[in-house]
Amino acid sequence: MIPRYQTVLFFTLLIASAVMGVVLWQLLDRAHQRRLQGEDSAPLPAPAIAPPIETTFLVANDRENSLVRQTLTLPLPQSTNARAKAILGKLLDLYAAPNSTHPVPGGAASITGVFLLPVPADAASAGSSTATPGFSTANNAPGGDQLAVVNLTSAFVASHPSGLEAETLTVLSICSTLHANLAAVTQVRFLVDGQPRATLAGHADLTRNYMAADSAPSDGAHP
Amino acid sequence: MWDGRVETRKARICSFALVLIALFAGTATIHAQAPPSPASSGPASSAPATRFVVVLDAAHGGSDAGGSLATQPGQTQAEKAYTLALSVRLRSLLGARGIAVVTTRESDTAVDNNRRAEIANHANAAACISLHATQVGSGVHIYTSSLTPADPARLTPWKTAQAAWITRSLALAGVVNSALTHAGIAVTLGRTGLPAVDSMTCPAVAIEIAPKAASDQDQTSNQAQASSLDDPQYQAQIAQALAAAVLEWRSTAWRDNDSSPGAQP
Q: Specify the pLDDT at position A63.
A: 85
pLDDT bracket for residue A216 (50, 70, 90): low
CA-closest candidate to residue B66, choices A202, A164, A197: A202
Chain B CB within 8 Å of residue A93 CB: no
Shortest distance between the Cα of A167 and any Cα of chain B, in A, equals 9
Structural domain includes residue B199: yes
Could you give the C-alpha distances from A129 to A136, B38, B189, B198, in angstroms and in order?
10, 21, 21, 11
Averaging pLDDT over each range in A48-52, A100-104, B36-40, which range is the top one?
A100-104
Shortest distance between the Cα of A190 and any Cα of chain B, in A, equals 13
Structural domain count, chain B: 1
Shortest distance between the Cα of B51 and any Cα of chain A, in A, equals 31
Query: In angstroms, rounded to a whole number, what is the distance separating the alpha carbons of residues B140 and B239?
Result: 11
Can you name the residues that pair with A189 across neighbouring β-strands?
A: A149
**Structural contact between residues A180 and A148, judged by C-beta atoms closer than 8 angstroms:** no
Core vs surface per residue A174-198: b (16+ CB within 10 A) or e: bbbbbbbbbbbbbbbbbbbeeeeee
Q: Specify the pLDDT at position B36.
A: 39
Structural domain includes residue B40: no
Size of interface A-B (CB pairs under 8 A): 104
Inter-chain contact A128–B137, Cβ cutoff 8 Å? no
Q: Specify the pLDDT at position A87.
A: 94
pLDDT bracket for residue B168 (50, 70, 90): very high
**Structural contact between residues A199 and A159, judged by C-beta atoms closer than 8 angstroms:** no
Query: In angstroms, rounded to a whole number, what is the distance separating the alpha carbons of residues A56 and A178?
Result: 9
Q: Can you say whether the dihedral through the CA atoms of B255, B261, B263, B265 is positive or negative? A: positive
Domain of A11, in residue numbers: 1-42
Structural domain count, chain A: 2
Could you give the C-alpha distances from B151 to A106, B43, B164, B199, in angstroms and in order?
42, 17, 5, 15
Q: Residues A184, A190, A196, CA angle at the centre, nearest 5°?
A: 140
**Structural contact between residues A56 and A69, judged by C-beta atoms closer than 8 angstroms:** yes
Core vs surface per residue B126-145: b (16+ CB within 10 A) or e: bbbbbbbbbbbbbbbbbbbb
Query: In angstroms, rounded to a whole number, what is the distance separating the alpha carbons of residues B143 and B197?
Result: 10
Which backbone phi and psi does A61 adopt, to 5 degrees? -130, 110
The pTM for the full model equals 0.73
Query: In angstroms, rounded to a whole number, what is the distance separating the alpha carbons of residues B206 and A193?
Result: 29
**Which of A161, A165, A205 is nearest residue B141 as measured by Cβ atoms?**
A165
**Which of B67, B137, B198 is nearest residue A62 as measured by Cβ atoms?**
B137
User: Same domain, yes or no, for A99 and A24?
Assistant: no
Tell me which chain A residue has its CA closest to the CA of residue B150. A129
Query: In angstroms, rounded to a whole number, what is the distance separating the alpha carbons of residues B265 and B254?
Result: 8
Contacts of B139 (CB under 8 A, 6+ apart): B185, B186, B187, B188, B210, B212, B213, B216
Inter-chain contact B134–A168, Cβ cutoff 8 Å? no
Least confident of A120-129, A168-177, B163-172: A120-129
pLDDT single digits (tens) B78-108: 999 999 999 999 999 999 999 999 999 999 9
Structural domain includes residue A138: yes
Tell me which chain A residue has its CA closest to the CA of residue B145. A132
Structural domain includes residue A216: no
Structural domain includes residue A47: no
Average pLDDT of the residues in A24-42: 84
Q: Which has more confidence, B6 or B210?
A: B210
Q: Specify the pLDDT at position B29.
A: 42
pLDDT bracket for residue B232 (50, 70, 90): confident
pLDDT single digits (tens) A136-146: 333 344 568 89
**Structural contact between residues A160 and A104, judged by C-beta atoms closer than 8 angstroms:** yes
Characterize the bridge pairing of strands A210-211 and A185-192. Answer: antiparallel
Shortest distance between the Cα of B88 and any Cα of chain A, in A, equals 21
Q: Specify the pLDDT at position B15.
A: 62
Q: Specify the pLDDT at position A162.
A: 92
Is the pLDDT at A12 greater than 50? The verdict is: yes
Is the pLDDT at B23 greater than 60? The verdict is: no
User: Same domain, yes or no, for A183 and A112?
Assistant: yes
User: Same domain, yes or no, for A37 and A118?
Assistant: no
When the pLDDT of each residue in chain B is averaged and rounded to a whole number, the result is 80
When the pLDDT of each residue in chain A is averaged and rounded to a whole number, the result is 84
User: Same domain, yes or no, for A4 and A105?
Assistant: no
User: Same domain, yes or no, for A38 and A75?
Assistant: no
B69: exposed, middle or buried (Cβ count in 10 Å: 0-12, 13-18, 19+): buried
Taking CB atoms and an 8 Å cutoff, what residues of chain A touch B192? 164, 167-168, 203-205, 223
Structural domain includes residue B188: yes
Tell me which chain A residue has its CA closest to the CA of residue B140. A165
Structural domain includes residue B37: no
User: Same domain, yes or no, for A116 and A147?
Assistant: yes
ipTM of the complex: 0.74
Is the pLDDT at A130 greater than 70? The verdict is: no
Shortest distance between the Cα of A78 and any Cα of chain B, in A, equals 33
Taking CB atoms and an 8 Å cutoff, what residues of chain B touch A161? 67, 134-136
Inter-chain contact B67–A65, Cβ cutoff 8 Å? no
Tell me which chain B residue has its CA closest to the CA of residue A207. B195
Q: Report chain B residues touching chain A, CB-CB < 8 A.
A: 60, 64, 66-68, 79, 132, 134-138, 141, 143, 146-148, 150, 157, 159-160, 163, 188-195, 198, 206, 208, 210
* Mutation site, A205, A209, A222, interface B, largest B CB count within 10 A: A205
Averaging pLDDT over each range in A58-67, A119-128, B6-15, which range is the top one?
A58-67
DSSP state of B227: G
Q: Which has more confidence, B24 or B161?
A: B161
User: Same domain, yes or no, for A88 and A121?
Assistant: yes
CA-closest candidate to residue A110, choices A165, A177, A179, A191: A191
pLDDT single digits (tens) B25-65: 544 444 444 443 333 333 333 334 468 999 999 999 999 99
**Which of B135, B150, B191 is nearest residue A133 as measured by Cβ atoms?**
B191
Structural domain includes residue A218: no
Structural domain includes residue B120: yes
Q: Specify the pLDDT at position A155.
A: 95
Specify the amino acid at residue B184: G
Domain of B103, in residue numbers: 51-254
User: Same domain, yes or no, for A128 and A154?
Assistant: yes
Query: In angstroms, rounded to a whole number, what is the distance separating the alpha carbons of residues B49 and B203?
Result: 18
Average pLDDT of the residues in B135-160: 89
Is the pLDDT at B178 greater than 80? The verdict is: yes
**Structural contact between residues A198 and B114, judged by C-beta atoms closer than 8 angstroms:** no
Q: Specify the pLDDT at position B153.
A: 82
Structural domain includes residue B18: no
Structural domain includes residue B214: yes
pLDDT single digits (tens) B102-144: 999 999 999 999 999 999 999 999 999 999 999 988 899 999 9
Structural domain includes residue A221: no
Q: Coil, strand or helix: which one is B166?
A: helix
User: Same domain, yes or no, for A92 and A24?
Assistant: no
Is the pLDDT at B167 greater than 80? The verdict is: yes
CATH number (domain holding residue B115): 3.40.630.40
Contacts of A13 (CB under 8 A, 6+ apart): none
User: Same domain, yes or no, for A30 and A118?
Assistant: no
Query: In angstroms, rounded to a whole number, what is the distance separating the alpha carbons of residues A118 and A141?
Result: 12
pLDDT single digits (tens) B249-258: 998 766 655 5
Structural domain includes residue B45: no
Chain B CB within 8 Å of residue A210 CB: yes
